[in-house]
Amino acid sequence: MRDLALIALYAALGAAVAGVLGALALRAVRRRSVAVSLAVLTAAAVGAMLAGTLAVAEAMFLSRHDLAVVTTVGAVGALTATATALLLGRWVIAGHRALERAAGGLGEDGTFTAPSGPMPAELASLARAMAEAGDRLAASRERERALEASRRELVAWISHDLRTPLAGLRAMAEALEDGIAGDPDRYHRRIRGEVERLSAMVGDLFDLSRIQAGSLALSPTRMSVYDLISDAIAGADPLARELGVKLADAGVEPVPVEVDGREMSRVLANLLVNAIRRTPPDGTVAVAARREHDAVVLSVTDECGGIRPEDLPRVFDTGWRGEDARTPPSGAGLGLAIVRGIVEAHAGRTEVHNIPGGCRFDIRLPAPA
């Protein structure tokens, strides 16, 4: 037992010296290729074994013949292990270079196609993560293009809608100034009406900017959806009577919601006004509310004849109107964008679906606990 302990001690001392030298070598090549690091690591491992053997031999525990045999076997093993480490390193480097080439597509066109060849599990996992990141980046770029297109449309519509009332205001002001206005009171009423239109457009732009900037301050309170819808219907009833449209209750369950009453009333008012203006005389606009699992769904259904399927995804985009605009002639295509922004600020979502003879707008809000 004593001899065995001495052999272990000498072997440990020799291996420790070789290990320290190997660690220093690894530190020196830490910025080099992984193949070099693997070769150094393998050489350090085999060197530790040989160093331990030589230390034992120096203590005269091995004969010269046995030492030669062990040294020869160790040297052959070292060469084989080093060659294997270099092959492994080349395989890892090849996978890395293929991944690097594939990653170049992220900067060029935003796409990433993972290399088809075999790679170590770590590189394969990295490739999957980069593929997912590429998909998210492509979706983000698509959203950015859509937003940019919406901004351009918004600027065009706002420029057009501002130019028309401003031209009318200038003409009426000049007529009053020159004293050629036959009925000054009528001109004053028209000027006031145009100013109110402009004020409403500027207010919508300001509110939309606050929503998109995330600075919309909400004061949610618990209330019955029945009361919320009743107030919205009462506010829209004069317009419905003027245009000959009937407002109907399509089933409103008295379920509770936790929302900012003022902002959610604006959401329903915008949807009702749009629905009333797009519904022909003697048509019906129906409002409903129901609970579905963990959500409260508010619905506004009209008889507008439906929306083109290719336009459905853009209905809530900023500034979008489509060929048959869902906004009144004085609008700027901001009403439904404001609806979506307010609903999303409540952690909800908006949807629109075509139904026979018209379409249905759904607002999904989280049900209170």
Quick check: 323 pLDDT over 60?
no
The answer to whether 270 touches 335, Cβ cutoff 8 Å, is yes
**pLDDT at residue 271 in the model:** 92
pLDDT tens digits, one per residue of 281-300: 989 999 999 888 888 999 99
pLDDT tens digits, one per residue of 229-262: 888 888 889 999 999 999 988 888 888 889 988 8
pLDDT confidence of 57, banded at 50, 70, 90?
Answer: low
Decide which of 19 and 260 is more confident: 260
User: What is the rounded average pLDDT of the residues 219-224?
Assistant: 88
User: What is the rounded average pLDDT of the residues 210-233?
Assistant: 83
pLDDT confidence of 227, banded at 50, 70, 90?
Answer: confident
Backbone angles phi, psi at 217, to 5 degrees: -90, 120
Quick check: 360 pLDDT over 90?
yes
Angstrom CA distances, 20 to 17, 27, 50, 63, 231, stand at 5, 11, 14, 27, 81
Which residues face 354 on adjacent strands? Answer: 359
Strands 246-252 and 284-292 come out as parallel
The answer to whether 261 touches 223, Cβ cutoff 8 Å, is yes
pLDDT tens digits, one per residue of 106-143: 656 666 777 776 767 777 777 777 777 777 777 788 87
* DSSP 8-class letter at 280: P
**pLDDT at residue 9 in the model:** 66
Q: Which two tokens stand for residue 362?
A: 């759904």
pLDDT confidence of 58, banded at 50, 70, 90?
Answer: low
**pLDDT at residue 3 in the model:** 55
Mean pLDDT across the chain, nearest whole number? Answer: 78
Quick check: 59 pLDDT over 70?
no
pLDDT confidence of 329, banded at 50, 70, 90?
Answer: very low
User: What is the rounded average pLDDT of the residues 77-90?
Assistant: 74
Quick check: 328 pLDDT over 50?
no
Backbone angles phi, psi at 299, to 5 degrees: -130, 140
Of 345, 319, 342, 323, the C-alpha closest to 332 is 319
The Cα 204–Cα 193 span in angstroms is 17
**pLDDT at residue 350 in the model:** 92
Quick check: 222 pLDDT over 80?
yes
> What are the residues whose beta carbons fall under 8 Å from the beta carbon of 217, sequence distance 6 or more?
none
pLDDT confidence of 326, banded at 50, 70, 90?
Answer: very low
Q: Which two tokens stand for residue 305?
A: 């004849």
pLDDT tens digits, one per residue of 170-206: 888 888 888 777 778 888 888 888 888 788 777 777 7
Quick check: 367 pLDDT over 70?
yes
| Residue matched to tokens 């009528």 | 186
**pLDDT at residue 7 in the model:** 60
Angstrom CA distances, 244 to 4, 96, 239, 250, 268, stand at 106, 70, 8, 19, 20
Which of 72-86, 298-312, 327-341 is least confident? 327-341
The Cα 127–Cα 276 span in angstroms is 53
Number of CB atoms found within 10 A of residue 349's CB: 14
Of 262, 252, 270, 184, the C-alpha closest to 218 is 262
**pLDDT at residue 56 in the model:** 65
Quick check: 362 pLDDT over 90?
yes
**pLDDT at residue 287 in the model:** 92
Decide which of 299 and 335 is more confident: 299
Percent of the chain with pLDDT over 70: 78
Most confident of 39-43, 165-169, 225-229: 225-229
> What are the residues whose beta carbons fall under 8 Å from the beta carbon of 133, sequence distance 6 or more?
106, 112
